[in-house]
Every structure is written in structure tokens, then in C-alpha cells.
Structure 1
């Protein structure tokens, strides 16, 4: 449904480059083209870059049981082929290429990961890893089939880089990301950056400054000593490295994270509407923000990208018109799943919008894992 522009450094094109391209649209009529006769394999250049960041030997030596869901995308069996060969056991689901992605959206969101969660439990695997259609974003579930939020993945990888690999550098998040990122930066005395939504802003910062890790709410994460770009396969390898060099129960890693930095639930709601209507809704909340939402006092308002109402340590809610689709997005992070649901409902009522119109990855409620155990919310 469009084109992705990449710059010479291998990352997302900066805004000024995309603006130059957009300025040329419509100046000349489209012309038919033909694909090049030669194809250039990327794996010979790609694999050494992965090995320079992740300790593949440690992963291969570990008796990890891993399930990978490539969602019929470009990730294929790359991760499996990288890891298998010694003690590690890796199985790939939907590893064959399919331009229609099996008729389902190749998004590593909970509603699309039922087969991954089920297979992890059946095989008693330590982790399930999913990559999206072009393998630049990641999803994951623990040994119980519980889906981790992108925020939890980001935080776990950040702590691994800091505590185990002893790397340093700034921590960057996009505007719709977790409070925990800032707490980790503060705990370890690292620079912290809050950026507009879109990994292109993180990519630019990674070119200009020493950034340890940068992430966006959709599961796109990039780290230093690599390209200034997201890579779901690389982040998946770092998750495996994390398990291979310590406690192999991912659920315990998450529990420790929540104990040290706080436990939060998260939800994103998408409301299809014309672009102008979405912008008008954001303008209304900016010009007339509430003093309270549900039971929480609005302690601050941030308008870096959309309108974010901050409730201190209790969480936040963000209203933002999508930059790529005719959609109003509402993001919310709060202490409990029930509070997230109430805040989202109150926010939509404030805008006089019907919550039933929303497309969402599910309510932010506790749910049972495929193994039948109670589990805390992922997204």
C-alpha cells in the first residue's frame, strides 16, 4: 500500500528526504518499469552484523526451546537457521513466504498470535518470538503463552544491554511509549529522550548521539553498534541471549522488571475516521483538556505529538491523529487493566466518540494463558 524510503545509512529516511520525494509527486506521469535482471543476496552482509551485536555462541550452547512465528513475512527461517545446530531447539511457524500473509494481517499483536502461544505451551518452549511482514518489529510470549507488551520487550532488552553487556548510552522512546523507559534511564544515570511518533526520529538521533536503545510502541526497537533502524530478528536474538545467560523463565524476568520499575497495563485503540475529523478531535482535547479523567487528576499535558494527559505515576493517555492512515489513535498506559479501560472509555466520551467504533487488540484485562493459568495483561 505504498513505499518505504530508506536513506544511505540503512535507516528510515528523515523527514526532509520524504518531503523532497513528496514534492515530486504528480510532476510527471507514471511510467512502467521492469525489475533488475540481477538479484543481490543480503544475507552475506546481514548475518555478520547480527553476530557483532548478539552472542550467537551463547544462544546455540544453551538448551533453549524456541518457537518463531514469521507470519509468512521476510523473516522466514532466518532466526531458526542462525540459532539451531547445537543444544538450542527452534521451530518456525508460517515460515514460508506468502504475499497475502495467509489472509491475515502480519502484525505481531495478541489477536494474531494464537498459534504461537499454543505451540509454545505444547512444546514447553521457553519463549515464542514473532516478527511482522518485513521483520522490523517484534512480538513475544513467555513460557506460559502470555503475550508481552512491546513496552516490556523494550525494557527487558534495555536492562540486558545495561546490566549484562555493560553497554552505555541514551535511552530514546517515541511519544506513545512506556513510563518505565524513563525510570530505567534515571536508575542508571543515562540520558533520556522523548521523541515524536515514528522511528525516523529515533534513527536521526542515533546518527547524532550515542544512543543505547530506541523504541516505539508498535514493537520497533533499535540498538547501538548496528544500523540506526528497527530489526525484529536482532531483538529476538537479544531476547534469546538474555535467556541463555541467566534465568530461562521469561515470566520471572518480567516479574522482576515489574517489581523494580512498576507494573502497568497498556492498550491502543484505533478509530477509523476522515483525516480532518481525527485532527479536529485532537484539537478539541488540546484546547479544552479535562482537569480529571475517570478518577485521576491530570497533572500535566504534553503536546509534542498529539495530546498526552499525564497522571503522574498512575499512567497517561495519548490522543493522536495517525500520520499514515485516516485513524484517530488513543494510547493508554495505567496501573491496572481495568483502569486502562476506564480511562480509554472516559477519553472517548470526552470527545463524544462511540467506543464501539474502535478497532483494538482486545481489552486490557487479565486473561488466561493457553495453559489455563492466570496471566497479567500484555497489551
Structure 2
């Protein structure tokens, strides 16, 4: 190999990253820009050889390049801080723009995979449309080609939701895929970017691989890059260079086809087309804006104006694409009007999270997954034979446990992180699962899936109202939830998030709690609560025997109440402290009490035991859900 910097007929324009302007990513493409962020030169002008794609995008034209491609070796050095969290590597955009930062991690990934997992193989590439995705796409494609990948399937304009990446991997039998996203974190030059890798089953890479990637980032010395022009991502079609090819695909079609297989679209269409049923979906200017109109409007008959913030933007419209009561306030305000819609939902940056609302009614994520599981067999065709098993993340409330017990289904409690559900799904042990962090999904793919959850709820409502005539009172979201509580009891639940705390203080707080746990004894009194046990949650995977330790400090009391403390691994700066509070209430007469009132004694206890204010300096949480 030639040890030199690869040159791609380009000039270096770093000024793009100061005073950048934002434009919609969908449907009109933006022009190519140039970048030097990894010793890799990106072109400033479209490759003339790709112009035929622009002229015949609908035909899926194939553009042939040279018979072979030259592979160059770029010298590099290790860069600190490239250890992945629970959902890949996330940092500020400016960090990823540093020379070789992204390229090092991508090369370290290839150095960590068995040769058969990528040599002459097909990989998928897509992301949530945030700032830097288009430039990153070109870097990843060139390094993939340099390492001998046979084909890249990339979403048009680099767009593919996280659930869609999983769906495409599975449908097209790809060997894996790259997801460019920082999920629900803000986007733009001053904010966040992220990258992760999913395996051939469509699930996030296991810790055994992410640990290898990190190890290789500490010793990397070269980056293998193919000297090929930038690929035009604005039109569907195939570009070939020797034995390497890039196919730009429609980001919606494979995912839509899967949803049509899972759900009864005729049933849902009957609900959304009713004159007496109001629907609203807030895409938060994130990736599901590319999916909302084709699915909800074009296929299911929802009104065009039912889609809010439906144009994906590189900076999410200066918003925070996290579907909760704080950041999806516009939707919440509409849903809590007297004349608000009957059903509302939002999804996050990369489309894997969801929030569900009825008119003046919020459904907690913990209740949502339990209610979907309790109604799945009768309302969703995919589950006609019944779910195989149910699972939740450890901090998620115990509502799902009660459904599993009543339905006599296998049940699993796993650490936070969707990858822990994947092994159970692949082993045929799990069908429906969820996390309290607004993540819900099933074994149709190996990622949580925001639009799937919305369609699941619409299926339940459509099934309950299929015989209702116009003018008759419809079964509402609140009716479904309250009926569930009457049957199973209510798990009052709340989460307090303290975002971007100083890492040192946050870690000292967790160590303080671990010290309390190490000395705790069953039967000890904590105010009016009696301790059943306290621990730092550890999980042994029943499929492969792998162990995940230190997954959250738990205080579990004899009445079933729980307090849990975790540091989140999904942020890009500082530490996010999460406190989870739960209390079970079987008495129907108390089910309408506000959760913050019902949980106040436990909340006060959590703040007292943790000494959170002293360790973090925080007077109040950033977000309460």
C-alpha cells in the first residue's frame, strides 16, 4: 500500500462549519460541500460521472466507474476518548470534525470484526439527517471500500431511521450496518453527533465487539481508504467502482413493507379516516418526518395537517428531539386543549423512541409497553399466535411483569440498552419489550421502534372502536389505560433527569450509594419504607452467559416500591443522573392521583439518601417524566 494521504480532486473548506446555514433535508437535496475532518478529502463539486443518476433516479440507474480502485494508507495516531456508551460513540460535532476522529473509529471497527463479516460483504449506512451526516457518509463509504467491503446500501440523502436500518439489514440479509445518530440529543454545529454499528440480525453490536473497537482505537496506526469520488446520495441508483458498489435506496419502502406485514392497515385506516377521531403526530423535525407522510397520510388516510414538524432538518429546527413532556411541549399543549385530538404521538431524532398521549392524558412508557403486550394478540396480526415472551429494562416499572404473569409468558429483566433484548429475540424467547426511556418494540426488528409503537396503539384503539358508529362515544386512550389499571393495578412511576452534571460529582454520588448498598440489611427502615434488598444490578444473559455488572443502584422495599439510580451513557458531555421512582397501587379508588403526589414520599427519600444536591449542586431536575 502507498503510505500517503489520499487525494480526491478536492479543496479544503473548513469555513463550512462556521456560520452554517440550515436547509430541509427532505425532499430537496443540498449541494455537496467539502471537508477535511479525517485526512480524507471530500469533493466540492458533484462527480460528472454521477449525473446520469440525477437524470434517471426513478429507474435506479447504474453508473460504472473505473475497473479497479486504488487503496491508500493514511497514517494516523490513537485519539483518546473513543469508548462507546450504551448506544455507540457520541460526542460533540466539533470533536468528530477533528482530524481522523471519525476515520479512526471506523477503521478500528473494521480491525475488530472477523474478515468474513465485511470482506466482499454488504453493509447498510444511514442516519437521522443531523448536521455532519452527509460528510460522514462519504468518509464511511471510502473507508468501507478501502477495507474490502463489497457493497454499501445507503439511504437517499443519507436518511434511514434506526428502526429502518435494522429492517433493511434483516430484509436484504446484509452483514451489518452503520447508524449515524446521536438519537434524542440536539443537532447542529455546536451540538451532538454519533455513530454505532449493528450486526447481521439488525441489533446493536455486543459489548464484546465494542470493547474490541475501543481497544483498537488505542493502537491504530493506519486508515485504509479507497480513492474514489464522493457518491451522489441525492438520487436512488447504483454506482460501481470495480468490485465495490454503492446503492442509494429509498429510505421508506422496506420499512413500510414490514409495517404492512405486522399491522392491519385496513383496520387502522378505518380509525384514522373517521370524522370523529382526531390524530396528530409530531416528527420534531427529525428523521420520522421522512416516514410520517408516506405511512400515516398516504397509506393510512390521516389528514395532511395531522403531521407536525414533518420536515427533517439538520438542527431539528433548533429543537431537542426527545419525545417527552418537556421537549415535545408543542404537542403536549395541543393535546391538553379541550378540543385537542383524541390521539397524539411524537418520535425522536432517529425514530426509535415514542411518546403517546390521549386528550389531556399522558401514557407513561412503562404503562405503554404493558398495555401493548396485554392487547397485542387480539389487536395486532403479527401476534395472532400470542407473544413468545416479554421483557423490560431494569429501571422500567413492574407493570409488564404483571402482564407476563397473567398471560403465563416468560419474562426477563435486563440492563438498559436495546442490545440486551436482541439475544433473547434471536433465541426465540422474546416478542415484546420496552424501556422507560420512551423505547418500545418487538422482534420484527432488533431496535426499538417509535412508529411501530404508534401503530400498535392505533391498532388497539381501532380494534376497540371498530363497531362504533359515528356519533357514538369512542373508547379513548384514557379508557384503555384505566381499564388496564383496574385489571392489573397501577404502577406509579416517575423519572428525574439531571442533565450534563459534572462527571466527578455524579460519580462520587454513585460511589456513595454503592457504599450504602454494601452495608445495607433487609428489614432496615427508610422513613416509612422497609428495605427488602439493595444492590447494584447485575445481569447474566440466559442465552450466551455474558455478564453485565454495575447496571444501576437499586433500593427495593417490602411493599414493592423501588428507587433506582443510574448514570446515563447516551449523552455527549458531562453525566446525566437519572433517578427512577416507582410505587404499586392496587386500589382503583387511588388510581387517579397525580403521580408526583403519590410518589412524593419516595422522591424525597431518594434525594435524601443520595445527597444529590451536595454531590451535583443541582436544585431541581432538567426533565421530569
Given the two structures, how large is their TM-score scaled by the length of structure 2?
Answer: 0.54
Q: Which residue in the other structure is 2:212 paired with?
A: 20
3-state DSSP of counterpart to 1:330? strand
Q: The residue matched to 2:464 in structure 1 has which SS?
A: coil
Q: Does 1:73 align with 2:268?
A: no
Aligned to 1:82: 295
Which structure ranks higher in relative contact order (CA pairs < 8 Å, sequence separation ≥ 6)?
1
| Deviation of 1:77 (Å) | 4.9
| Structure 1 position 279, deviation (Å) | 3.9
Matches within 5 A, 1:1-379: 1=91, 2-28=194-220, 36-38=231-233, 39-62=248-271, 63=274, 64-84=277-297, 88-89=302-303, 91-120=306-335, 121=337, 124-144=340-360, 146-165=361-380, 166=384, 167-224=386-443, 226-247=444-465, 248-271=475-498, 272-274=501-503, 276-289=507-520, 291-304=524-537, 305-325=551-571, 326-335=575-584, 336-354=595-613, 356-362=618-624, 379=625
Deviation larger for 80-89 or 319-328: 80-89
Q: CA deviation at 1:141?
A: 0.9
SS of corresponding position for 1:109: coil
> Larger deviation: 82-91 or 329-338?
82-91
Q: Is the 8 A contact 2:325 2:332 kept in 1?
A: no
Matched pairs, number:
361
Deviates more, 1:42-51 or 1:114-123: 114-123
Residue pair 2:509, 2:611 contacting (<8 A) in 1 also: no
CA distances 1:275-305 after superposition (whole Å, capped 9, x unpaired): 5425413422322347233321122334322
Q: CA deviation at 1:321?
A: 2.8
What's the Cα RMSD here?
2.5
Q: Rg: which structure is higher?
A: 2
Structure 1 residues 205 and 171, CA gap change in structure 2 (3 angstroms): same
CA deviation profile, 1:192-222 (whole Å, cap 9, x unmatched)? 1011111110122211233120111111112
Question: Secondary structure at 1:147's aligned position in 2?
Answer: strand
Partner in structure 1 of residue 5 of structure 2: none
Contact 2:514 2:536 in 1 (8 A): no
Change in 2 beyond 3 A, CA 1:79/1:286: same
Q: Secondary structure of the residue that 1:359 maps to in structure 2?
A: coil
Q: Aligned equivalents of 2:401 and 2:217: distance in 1?
A: 40
- Higher mean displacement: 77-86 or 189-198: 77-86
- DSSP-derived class of the 1:140 partner: strand
Shift of residue 97 of structure 1? 1.2
User: 5+ unaligned residues in a row in structure 1: which ranges?
Assistant: 363-378
